[in-house]
């Protein structure tokens, strides 16, 4: 029940209609029985600073940040965590006495299912498909896992060069090389972890895969295929990888875990991750029915 004392949380993005965050956060809030509400806010890029000033005025406790604001919010914050600075993106903001503080929980979200595998990653080469915002969180995660090497594959040489350079001055230690898409097949035999951070295969383009079907026989038998996409589940990429015997991970757990990490920051307490997971799974099943 919304009361006169209800505290507000939310997510900003543009567009925001398809965000799943309100579903999982409000499920957790209901389960905890706390007087909070989590709302989606559609904010155009040109309205960002006005919106943040408005959030200050109306006393919002904290909020998530999604496309296209993850980078542009950074100069509007009083403090940005070293991790978010290294990634170059903020996805979680909370109120402090010094003003808004921002961090990045995508890295922890991405890492959670990998850490659950309890592997030693120091001999692992990670191949990351795509060099956008999510790829940056994946590189930071690979640095935390202390992967032996990180190979980033993209389609735009200039963007790849800028990506590589940005990590040379980073406080995170990572052995990173960039490659154009045509070099992918040479990288696959040494890859222990292959991560799709491109939108290829995402609904409604479920028949697309970032990797040609014939190349799966180049994979190591114990390789892990990780797709950041959570709709459809599984993507064609993960279906093909599973047929080849690879361990597969989709993006739903990352989404849940980055959300849980944000809610923990706002509330200063542990949160019911199982409730958040169940709410999202049920919602996605309902959505997929005609
Ligand atoms: P982004 O910044 O736009 O980056 C997308 C990357 O994919 C870019 O490098 C882009 O290349 C590349 N790309 C796009 N279409 C391509 C194509 N047809 N062929 C080859 N490369 C292509 O987006 P993002 O924020 O990183 O998000 C990427 C994906 O991750 C999305 O599917 C998103 O839903 C997912 N994601 C999931 C989570 C989660 O919690 N599970 C969190 C974040 C993101 P160019 O730069 O050359 O265009």
Atom of ligand 1 minimally distant from the CA of 130: 9
| Pocket lined around ligand 1, Cβ cut-off 6 Å | 67, 106, 109, 130-135, 154-156, 159, 197-200, 202, 228-230, 251, 254-255, 258
Question: What is the C-alpha to C-alpha distance for residues 171 and 203, in angstroms, rounded to an integer?
Answer: 36
User: How many Å lie between the centroid of ligand 1 and the Cα of residue 199?
Assistant: 5
Contact 58, 83 (CB under 8 A): no
User: How many Å lie between the centroid of ligand 1 and the Cα of residue 129?
Assistant: 9
Q: State the helix-helix crossing angle for 106-115 and 252-267, rounded to 10 degrees.
A: 120
User: How many Å lie between the centroid of ligand 1 and the Cα of residue 252?
Assistant: 15
pLDDT tens track, the chain, 290 positions: 899 999 999 999 999 999 999 999 999 999 999 999 999 999 999 999 999 999 999 999 999 999 999 999 999 999 999 999 999 999 999 999 999 999 999 999 999 999 999 999 999 999 999 999 899 999 999 999 999 999 999 999 999 999 999 999 899 999 999 999 999 999 999 999 999 999 999 989 999 999 998 899 999 988 999 999 998 999 999 999 999 999 999 999 999 999 999 999 999 999 999 999 999 999 999 988 77
Q: Which residue has the tokens 């600075």?
A: 85
Question: What is the C-alpha to C-alpha distance for residues 34 and 36, in angstroms, rounded to an integer?
Answer: 6
CA distances from 180 to 130, 185, 202 (A): 10, 11, 22
Q: Considering the entire predicted model, what is its pTM?
A: 0.95
Q: Which of 64, 197, 254, 281 to mutate to test the pocket of ligand 1 (most atoms within 8 A of CB)?
A: 197
Question: What is the C-alpha to C-alpha distance for residues 147 and 276, in angstroms, rounded to an integer?
Answer: 30
Q: Residue 256 is encoded by which pair of tokens?
A: 């849940």
């Amino acid at each position: 029940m919304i009361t006169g004392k209800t505290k507000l949380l939310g997510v900003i993005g543009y567009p925001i209609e398809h965000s799943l965050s309100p579903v999982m956060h409000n499920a957790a809030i209901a389960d905890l029985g706390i007087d909070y509400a989590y709302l989606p806010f559609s904010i155009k890029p040109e309205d960002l600073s006005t919106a943040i000033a408005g959030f200050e005025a109306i006393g919002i406790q904290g909020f998530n940040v999604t496309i296209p604001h993850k980078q542009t919010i950074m100069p509007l914050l009083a403090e940005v965590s070293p991790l978010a600075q290294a990634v170059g993106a903020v996805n979680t903001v909370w109120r402090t006495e010094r003003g808004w503080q921002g961090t990045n929980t995508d890295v922890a979200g991405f890492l959670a299912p990998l850490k659950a595998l309890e592997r030693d990653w120091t001999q692992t080469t990670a191949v990351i498909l795509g060099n956008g915002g999510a790829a940056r969180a994946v590189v930071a995660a690979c640095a935390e896992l202390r992967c032996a090497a990180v190979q980033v594959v993209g389609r735009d040489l200039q963007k790849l060069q800028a990506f590589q350079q940005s990590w040379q001055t980073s406080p995170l230690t990572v052995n990173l090389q960039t490659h154009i898409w045509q070099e992918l097949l040479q990288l696959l035999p040494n890859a222990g972890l292959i991560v799709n951070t491109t939108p290829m295969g995402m609904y409604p383009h479920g028949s697309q895969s970032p990797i040609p079907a014939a190349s799966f026989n180049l994979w190591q038998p114990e390789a892990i295929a990780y797709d950041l996409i959570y709709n459809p589940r599984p993507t064609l990429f993960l279906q093909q990888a599973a047929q080849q015997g690879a361990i597969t991970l989709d993006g739903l757990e990352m989404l849940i875990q980055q959300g849980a990490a944000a809610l923990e920051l706002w509330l200063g307490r542990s949160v019911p991750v199982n409730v958040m997971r169940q709410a999202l799974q049920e919602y996605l099943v309902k959505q997929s029915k005609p």
